Structure 1
């Protein structure tokens, strides 16, 4: 029963999960260079390594409980995104995501 309630620590090495699906060498930095709105809550993100990913933010926003996040369900608010220093941000970093999550498309 204990294994059902607690995840196994056999894959953990010094606080990092060895089974992490996205691992980059420590000297690699992936930044966003551009973003464009392609539908209501979907952005096309361009990364500096040439990779492009379409990310749909609607599921994340609709499942959010916090009003600071839900405010971005208003289309005019969502469309205020910008790329700043390689990050995708809204407002004064009112909403931002880890670049690795955006790269994989898993919010």
Structure 2
């Protein structure tokens, strides 16, 4: 997923993409964007509060570590779990 960010001036637009994601430990991933910014994101709270089996299965670290970058987005198991790029960019997945 590619996201367009609207600035206060409508004529300015930027597209943010995830270009790299590095597993750190536990449920923490370092996400690097194409504007050279980086976020360290802890997914643990999100995963533990989810009641849905398609999300809670990622509490298994083997499943959680199996992510890819697809079309500028952080993606698990062919879009089984995915987050808006803007949320990742802000570091807020709650």
TM-score by length of 2: 0.86
Matched with 2:67 is 81
Of Structure 1 and Structure 2, the greater strand share is in 2
List structure 1 runs of 4+ shifted beyond 6 angstroms: none
Task: For residue 47 of structure 2, give the secondary structure of its aligned residue in structure 1.
Answer: helix
Query: CA RMSD of the aligned region, Å?
Result: 1.2
Q: Where do 5+ consecutive residues of structure 1 fail to align? A: 1-22
- Runs of 5+ unmatched residues, structure 2: none
| Equivalent residue number for residue 92 of structure 1 | 78
Q: Tell me the equivalent position of 1:44.
A: 30
Higher relative contact order (CA 8 A, sep 6+): 2
TM-score (norm 1): 0.76
How many residue pairs end up in the alignment? 85
